[in-house]
């Protein structure tokens, strides 16, 4: 069992001391500081494992050596087109090199036995920071990650208030800027990110004419990051460096008991004790300390349950029922206060019902049903600002059905808008109404499904929609295309109607792929000739989505374009493979060098087809360095002279990996130096994603177009021919050409 590895104290101090904070909008690059980069490169993780391996962070200067650093110069007084192009160039360069760096970082960590949480950590690379096995550290001010973050933020800053750009485009740039505006996020990235969004929100709301899109976006960001800080969310669980275990903190926590028996105080104490126990176990603290914390956690949990029971028993049902009566003619402040009180009571009642402390489900439901009414009263309160009204307006609209939305649209059409924020209410209702109508049509088309499956997106009806529903779908698709033609809605921040249409297409896919394809095509038909750069970007993604959907019913003839390098570093010439059938083997390689394989044909059959003219290419879907490691390990695993019982002579191969290699030994025997091994160039796997082949084989014809695949495509198993059958047709004279 491996213990968690940590940076040793000396390396940690060297790393922290080497990372100065860079200015957020610095236009000039900072002087080179070789000592800082060397400190990063030499940071070691002490290995408390049997093999005593160490982990070194990849050298930043080497990883980003080819980065176009001239892009970091952001001059003043240039045109909007110049800054937009510069932003796109910076982002493209960053994606190209940071992806390769993260993969190499992960490979080095895996090879050294770094904690598995680091795998997720490496994929959460914040601007201006570098992930390490123990958390994030600020990148050196002279390094490419830090300089990129500053230059990108400076470029976006020049765009987000440019009057030449439409509001939705400025909003898109604002969202990108807000994500890098905090600068290096250091050891507490999520907390700092949350605080940064909260400050930006406060600054925006304090303006005499706040931007509605920015306010909505920032409020969503604050809430989202706050939830991640509290509860974690998938990969982001690993992004926060936990507070180190400190016995003094524990003693203070144990002594600081709640002075009153309230549910809220006990809940907060339970969370703190739980976190303290977790840190103590990770730090391998003294058993007695862990035991004391655990006992306090159990006793506090019991006190919490008792406090909840008392609160439920003392619940004044009559007073709660009074919240169901919503008086008319009150001020907006009154309705906001009543809304908050009703919402708090409803959630408390839900907790009591779920815990079996009372049986008031009907009252709970009625309280939640009262919230939209209160929100509507706030939405039309003249004594509130347009921004306050809009917030509750959206809460109300999001709870409305189709008929209520139609009535709301009529009311907004007849209403005189007094501000830009008020003007945004009508298009907001229009979108929600369109979405609700589409949802209703989808549900109607799926009504023949069992009740339990009716709203599951993975289950589709066996019969086609009726002619009436076909007409409804066509009308909705036309409306969506018209809205895409009109451009983004005023309140939209960083999404155009085309992007929203893609979201709607996900709903339609539950009825049938052809409907999603028609929807995307309707949007693409509008966006194809759009002069706006952002809409053209969306068009490209929709074009890919359309092809993906069509591939579910049409696989044959799709062009395969392989670009990359051989493992020796020389460029791979895919054009030279024209003129003969090619069998492309797609191998996914774990970062420890163990591949995932699928073998449709036996070794002898493959050799016979090769003699008859079949060419083969091994496509390793991994960076060049990992592909090289893979090729070397395959060579060792297939070495017939190996005396190792596991089948490997590679001393760096861990026991578990060696067992995996030995299990695939028979498949490795099909590898030889005559089969080119190709590693893709960055962002060169589009064809692979479109074919929906993760691991397997693709047979292409003499013109480089698909003929068959193995395994069969998972979403269309009946249409994909077997590779073995297709090879028989191509090479009828080959003996023993049967599929395995």
Smallest CA-to-CA distance from 432 within 423, 440, 443 is with: 440
pLDDT of residue 625: 72
Confidence class for position 184, pLDDT limits 50, 70, 90: confident
Asked if residue 493 belongs to a domain, the reply is yes
pLDDT of residue 550: 55
User: In Å, what is the CA distance from 373 to each residue of 325, 339, 363, 378, 395?
Assistant: 10, 9, 16, 9, 10
Asked if residue 137 belongs to a domain, the reply is yes
Confidence class for position 233, pLDDT limits 50, 70, 90: very low
Considering the domain architecture, whether residues 529 and 574 belong to the same structural domain is answered as no
481 has a pLDDT exceeding 60: yes
pLDDT of residue 343: 95
Beta partners for 588? 596
The most confident of 7-11, 127-131, 178-182, 621-625, by mean pLDDT: 178-182
**Span 362-379, average pLDDT:** 95
**From CA 498, how far away is CA 509, in angstroms rounded?**
16
Long-range contacts (CB closer than 8 Å, 24 or more residues apart) made by 665-672? 665/637, 665/638, 667/597, 667/599, 668/634, 668/637, 668/638, 669/603, 669/638, 670/599, 670/603, 670/606, 671/618, 671/634, 671/635, 671/638
pLDDT of residue 538: 62
Long-range contacts (CB closer than 8 Å, 24 or more residues apart) made by 342-347? 342/367, 342/370, 342/371, 342/374, 343/371, 345/320, 346/371
Longest CA pairwise span in the chain (Å): 91
Considering the domain architecture, whether residues 174 and 85 belong to the same structural domain is answered as yes
pLDDT of residue 22: 26
Considering the domain architecture, whether residues 568 and 544 belong to the same structural domain is answered as no
Smallest CA-to-CA distance from 593 within 674, 657, 524 is with: 657
Considering the domain architecture, whether residues 618 and 644 belong to the same structural domain is answered as yes
The most confident of 56-65, 261-270, 335-344, by mean pLDDT: 335-344
pLDDT of residue 327: 93
- Sign of the alpha-carbon dihedral angle for 517, 518, 523, 529: positive
Confidence class for position 456, pLDDT limits 50, 70, 90: confident
**From CA 267, how far away is CA 256, in angstroms rounded?**
14
pLDDT of residue 259: 78
Considering the domain architecture, whether residues 531 and 592 belong to the same structural domain is answered as no
**From CA 553, how far away is CA 316, in angstroms rounded?**
61
Confidence class for position 490, pLDDT limits 50, 70, 90: low
pLDDT of residue 210: 84
732 has a pLDDT exceeding 90: no
Choose between 266 and 493: higher pLDDT: 266
pLDDT of residue 396: 96
pLDDT of residue 235: 42
Considering the domain architecture, whether residues 569 and 547 belong to the same structural domain is answered as no
Asked if residue 262 belongs to a domain, the reply is yes
Sole residue written with tokens 């369109």: 434
**Span 94-120, average pLDDT:** 69
Asked if residue 145 belongs to a domain, the reply is yes
218 Cβ neighbours under 8 A, 6+ residues apart: 178, 197, 198, 200, 201, 204
Choose between 367 and 231: higher pLDDT: 367
Asked if residue 198 belongs to a domain, the reply is no
Considering the domain architecture, whether residues 436 and 488 belong to the same structural domain is answered as yes
The most confident of 288-297, 305-314, 367-376, 527-536, by mean pLDDT: 367-376
| Both tokens assigned to 204 | 């925006």
Q: Are 509 and 515 in contact (CB under 8 A)?
A: yes
**Span 506-523, average pLDDT:** 75
**From CA 560, how far away is CA 699, in angstroms rounded?**
10
| Both tokens assigned to 293 | 């914390």
Considering the domain architecture, whether residues 44 and 153 belong to the same structural domain is answered as yes
Q: Which class for 7: exposed (0-12), middle (13-18), buried (19 or more C-beta within 10 A)?
A: buried
Smallest CA-to-CA distance from 599 within 586, 582, 609, 580 is with: 586
Q: Are 371 and 341 in contact (CB under 8 A)?
A: no
Q: Give the whole-number percent of the chain exceeding pLDDT 70.
A: 67
Choose between 482 and 634: higher pLDDT: 482
Asked if residue 549 belongs to a domain, the reply is yes
**From CA 331, how far away is CA 154, in angstroms rounded?**
44
143 has a pLDDT exceeding 80: yes
**From CA 695, how far away is CA 690, in angstroms rounded?**
13
| Both tokens assigned to 117 | 């949480």
Considering the domain architecture, whether residues 159 and 287 belong to the same structural domain is answered as no
CA 562 to centroid of chain Cα atoms: 26
pLDDT of residue 199: 93
DSSP 8-class letter at 457: T
477 has a pLDDT exceeding 80: yes
Smallest CA-to-CA distance from 556 within 370, 691, 672 is with: 691
Domain of 84 in residue numbering reads as 6-187
Q: Which class for 26: exposed (0-12), middle (13-18), buried (19 or more C-beta within 10 A)?
A: middle
Confidence class for position 527, pLDDT limits 50, 70, 90: low
pLDDT of residue 736: 53
Among 187, 214, 237, identify where a domain stops. Answer: 187
Alpha helices in 260-385, H assignment, sequence order:
263-282, 287-313, 317-322, 332-354, 361-379
CATH of the domain at 612: 3.40.30.10
Long-range contacts (CB closer than 8 Å, 24 or more residues apart) made by 314-318? 315/349, 315/352, 315/358, 317/360, 317/363
Choose between 522 and 359: higher pLDDT: 359
Among 519, 534, 553, identify where a domain stops. Answer: 553
**Span 661-677, average pLDDT:** 62
46 has a pLDDT exceeding 50: no
Confidence class for position 488, pLDDT limits 50, 70, 90: low
Sole residue written with tokens 């800027």: 177
Confidence class for position 51, pLDDT limits 50, 70, 90: very low
Quick count: other Cβ atoms within 10 Å of Cβ 406?
15
Mean residue pLDDT across the chain: 75
**Span 347-375, average pLDDT:** 92
pLDDT of residue 34: 36
- Condensed to tens digits (0 to 9), the pLDDT of residues 575-604 reads 899 899 999 888 876 544 555 656 667 767
Confidence class for position 33, pLDDT limits 50, 70, 90: very low
For the chain, the domain total comes to 4
pLDDT of residue 7: 31
558 has a pLDDT exceeding 60: yes
Asked if residue 348 belongs to a domain, the reply is no
Asked if residue 232 belongs to a domain, the reply is no
75 has a pLDDT exceeding 70: yes
**From CA 227, how far away is CA 125, in angstroms rounded?**
19
Considering the domain architecture, whether residues 584 and 502 belong to the same structural domain is answered as no
Dihedral over alpha carbons 463, 466, 467, 471 (to 10 degrees): -110
Considering the domain architecture, whether residues 525 and 621 belong to the same structural domain is answered as no
Considering the domain architecture, whether residues 484 and 583 belong to the same structural domain is answered as no
| Both tokens assigned to 424 | 């945004």
Helix (H, G, I), strand (E, B) or coil at 657: helix
Beta partners for 582? 615, 700
Among 313, 329, 357, identify where a domain stops. Answer: 313
Q: Are 50 and 174 in contact (CB under 8 A)?
A: no
Choose between 61 and 445: higher pLDDT: 445
């Amino acid at each position: 069992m491996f213990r968690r590895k940590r940076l040793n104290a000396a390396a940690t101090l060297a790393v922290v001391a080497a990372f100065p904070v860079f200015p957020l909008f610095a236009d000039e690059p900072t002087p080179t500081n070789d000592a800082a980069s060397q400190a990063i490169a030499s940071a070691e993780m002490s290995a408390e494992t049997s093999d005593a391996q160490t982990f070194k962070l990849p050298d930043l200067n080497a990883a980003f050596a080819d980065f176009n650093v001239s892009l970091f110069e952001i001059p003043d007084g240039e045109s909007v087109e110049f800054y937009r192009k510069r932003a796109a160039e910076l982002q493209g360069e960053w994606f190209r090199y940071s992806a390769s760096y993260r993969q190499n970082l992960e490979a080095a960590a895996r090879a050294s036995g770094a904690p598995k949480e680091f795998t997720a950590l490496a994929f959460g690379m914040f601007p201006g920071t570098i992930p390490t096995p123990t958390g994030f550290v600020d990148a050196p001010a002279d390094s490419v990650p830090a300089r990129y973050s500053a230059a990108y933020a400076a470029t976006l800053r020049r765009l987000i208030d440019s009057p030449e750009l439409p509001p939705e485009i400025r909003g898109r740039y604002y969202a990108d800027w807000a994500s890098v505006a905090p600068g290096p996020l250091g050891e507490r990235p999520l907390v700092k990110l949350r605080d940064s969004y909260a400050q930006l929100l406060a600054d925006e709301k304090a303006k005499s004419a706040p931007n509605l899109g920015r306010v909505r976006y920032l409020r969503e960001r604050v809430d989202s990051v706050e939830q991640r800080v509290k509860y974690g969310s998938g990969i982001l669980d690993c992004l926060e460096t936990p507070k180190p275990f400190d016995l003094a903190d524990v003693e203070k926590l144990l002594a600081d008991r709640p002075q009153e028996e309230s549910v809220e105080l006990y809940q907060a104490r339970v969370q703190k004790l739980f976190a303290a126990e977790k840190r103590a176990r990770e730090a391998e603290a003294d058993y007695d300390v862990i035991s004391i914390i655990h006992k306090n956690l159990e006793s506090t949990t019991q006190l919490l349950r008792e406090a909840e029971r008392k609160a439920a028993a003392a619940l004044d049902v009559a007073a709660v029922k009074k919240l169901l009566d919503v008086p008319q003619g009150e001020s907006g402040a009154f309705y906001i206060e009543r809304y908050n009180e009703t919402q708090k009571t409803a959630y408390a009642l839900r907790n009591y019902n779920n815990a079996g402390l009372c049986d008031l489900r009907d009252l709970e439901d009625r309280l939640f049903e009262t919230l939209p009414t209160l929100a509507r009263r706030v939405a039309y309160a003249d004594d509130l600002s347009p921004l306050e009204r809009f917030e509750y307006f959206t809460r109300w609209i999001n709870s409305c059905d189709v008929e209520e939305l139609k009535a709301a649209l009529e009311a907004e059409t007849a209403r005189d808008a007094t501000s830009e924020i008020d003007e945004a209410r009508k298009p907001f209702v229009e979108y929600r109404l369109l979405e609700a109508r589409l949802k209703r049509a989808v549900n109607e088309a799926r009504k023949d499904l069992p009740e339990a499956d009716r709203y599951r997106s993975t289950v589709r009806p066996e019969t086609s929609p009726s002619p009436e529903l076909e007409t409804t779908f066509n009308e909705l698709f036309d409306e969506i295309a018209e809205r895409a033609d009109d451009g983004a809605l005023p309140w939209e921040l960083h999404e155009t109607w085309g992007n929203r249409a893609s979201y709607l297409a996900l709903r339609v896919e539950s009825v049938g792929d052809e409907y999603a394809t028609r929807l995307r095509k309707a949007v693409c038909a509008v966006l194809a000739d759009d002069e706006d750069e952002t809409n053209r970007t969306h068009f490209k993604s929709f074009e890919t989505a359309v092809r993906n959907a069509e591939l579910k019913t049409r696989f044959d003839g799709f062009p395969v374009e392989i670009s990359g390098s051989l493992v020796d570093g020389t460029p791979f010439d895919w054009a030279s493979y024209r003129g003969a059938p090619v069998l492309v083997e797609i191998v996914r390689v774990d970062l420890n060098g163990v591949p995932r394989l699928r073998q449709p044909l036996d070794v002898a059959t493959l050799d016979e087809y090769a003699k008859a003219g079949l060419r083969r290419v091994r496509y390793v879907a991994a960076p060049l360095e990992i592909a090289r490691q893979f090729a070397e390990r395959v060579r060792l695993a297939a070495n017939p002279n190996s005396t190792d019982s596991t089948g490997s002579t590679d001393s760096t191969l861990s026991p578990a990996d060696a067992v995996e290699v030995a299990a695939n030994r028979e498949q490795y025997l099909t590898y030889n130096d005559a089969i080119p091994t190709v590693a893709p160039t960055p962002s060169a796997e589009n064809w692979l994603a479109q074919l929906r082949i993760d691991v397997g084989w693709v047979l292409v014809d003499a013109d480089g177009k698909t003929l068959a695949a193995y395994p069969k495509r998972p979403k269309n198993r009946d249409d994909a021919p077997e590779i073995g059958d297709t090879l028989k047709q191509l090479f009828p004279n080959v003996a023993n050409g049967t599929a395995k």
